[in-house]
Chains A and B, each alone.
Chain A
Amino acid sequence: MRVLLVDDEVELVSAMAERLGYRGLDADWTDNGEDAIRMAAETEYAVAVLDMKMPRMGGLELREKLAFHHPGMRFIFLSGHGSESDFKAGCAAGCSYLIKPIQLEDLVDMIREVVGEELS
């Protein structure tokens, strides 16, 4: 299973990708929505983990674009506490999200949950 991580904090998203790799999840990362759309066109990702607040294209807008071209893709949002209310206003019930800073094991569990895998 491949995972796409998108967050404009490069040190954050690169470390998360590396740590997910140690847990058996292949993760690619980028710091912007435009590259994420390009990467998703070339590689099949089961799950995209999106930061809510990013320059130019925020997480909700990026989800719309990715979901249009990749209907099977699942989404998890990362939110700072300041953007949690924006998130709730803009996202349908049932969306999965974690508040930064996250515990990586929580993200791993959530990734497996959204793709319907048994939790290990």
Chain B
Amino acid sequence: MSQATVPAREGLKFFGRVSASVSHEIKNVFAVINEAAGLIEDFTLMAERGMPLKPERLKSAANAIQGQIRRGDTIVKNMNAFAHSTDEDVREVNLAELLGLTVALANRLADMKQIRLTAGDCEPVSLAADSFDLMLLLHSSIAAALDALSAGDTLAVGVKPENGGASFSLSSPGKDAPLANDEAFAQFARSMGADVGVDEDNRASVLRIQPTARPE
């Protein structure tokens, strides 16, 4: 990306969107834990009244709680990594890691549209960039691509080095490049110094970025 930075309000809105999505997911985690714990309480109340306890039902409720705690831990870990993306203006960024985190944060958005979102082919590549701005760009491109797809589709996002920079590819099996006709998004990407194009060979949308100059 160039040195162009995202307007503060856009960045704040992005941070808000991700935080709202994450907090909603955590609420769901708490709600499931709450009901599983309630079930265990119901079982014990019934046992006090003489009904035999069924160990497999207790085990299943305990497993549900453990599963939700693992889910919640992953959600919070991702949110923590996202929050730390603002620590430095420009740093060396591992793009495969950044892509994985951005995909994880956008998964709820994809779930609501019943689209499978995956990290596709990722080659090792790192470059100097504003991690937060780059996530905003990638998350916005994923959101625009999801808008162009339908329930049941898959969106795969990959990354590879290209001409001293890197390119992200967004593709959906059997579909045209999902950002090809999205002029509104292309304009946004250009304002951030990125270039949106199409890889005709694999019908993928391509988002090309260049390293950001480090501050003096």
Verify A11–B46 contact, CB threshold 8 A: no
Contact residues on A (Cβ < 8 Å of other chain), bracket:
20 to 34
Main secondary structure of the interface of A (DSSP, over half): helix
Partner of A12, one of B31, B67, B112, B151: B31
Given the known inter-chain contacts A55-B113, A56-B114, A56-B151, please indicate yes or no for A19 contacting B35, CB distance below 8 A: yes
Contacts of B39 in A (CB 8 A): 15, 18-19
A104, CB-defined interface residue at 8 Å: yes
Verify B35–A82 contact, CB threshold 8 A: no
Interface pairs A-B: 8 shortest CB-CB: A101-B34, A15-B35, A100-B31, A82-B24, A101-B31, A80-B27, A12-B32, A80-B24
Given the known inter-chain contacts A22-B46, A80-B24, please indicate yes or no for A104 contacting B30, CB distance below 8 A: no
- 0/1 string, B12-53, CB within 8 A of A gives 1: 000000001101100110111111101100100010000000
Contacts of B23 in A (CB 8 A): 80-82
Among A18, A82, A83, residue most surrounded by chain B Cβ atoms (within 10 Å): A82
A16, CB-defined interface residue at 8 Å: yes
B64, CB-defined interface residue at 8 Å: yes
Write 11 A-B pairs (CB below 8 A) sorted by A numbering. Answer: A12-B31, A15-B32, A15-B39, A18-B39, A18-B42, A22-B42, A56-B114, A100-B28, A100-B31, A102-B34, A104-B38
Contacts of B61 in A (CB 8 A): 15
- 0/1 string, B122-133, CB within 8 A of A gives 1: 000000000000
A9, CB-defined interface residue at 8 Å: yes
Verify B112–A53 contact, CB threshold 8 A: yes
- Please report the C-alpha to C-alpha distance between residue A83 and residue B21 in the assembled complex, in whole angstroms: 10
Given the known inter-chain contacts A55-B111, A56-B114, A100-B31, please indicate yes or no for A11 contacting B24, CB distance below 8 A: no
A11 CB, min distance to chain B CBs, angstroms? 5
Chain A residue nearest to B25 in the complex (CB): A80
Verify B31–A9 contact, CB threshold 8 A: yes
Given the known inter-chain contacts A19-B39, A81-B23, A82-B23, please indicate yes or no for A100 contacting B30, CB distance below 8 A: yes
Chain B residue nearest to A79 in the complex (CB): B27
B102, CB-defined interface residue at 8 Å: no
- 0/1 string, A74-88, CB within 8 A of B gives 1: 000000111100000
Interface members, chain B 93-133 (any A CB < 8 Å)? 111-114
Chain B residue nearest to A80 in the complex (CB): B27
If A80-B31, A83-B24 are given as contacts, then 17 extra A-B residue pairs at C-beta distance below 8 Å, sorted by A number, are A9-B31, A11-B36, A11-B64, A15-B36, A15-B39, A15-B64, A16-B35, A19-B35, A19-B38, A55-B113, A55-B151, A80-B27, A82-B23, A101-B27, A101-B33, A101-B34, A101-B35
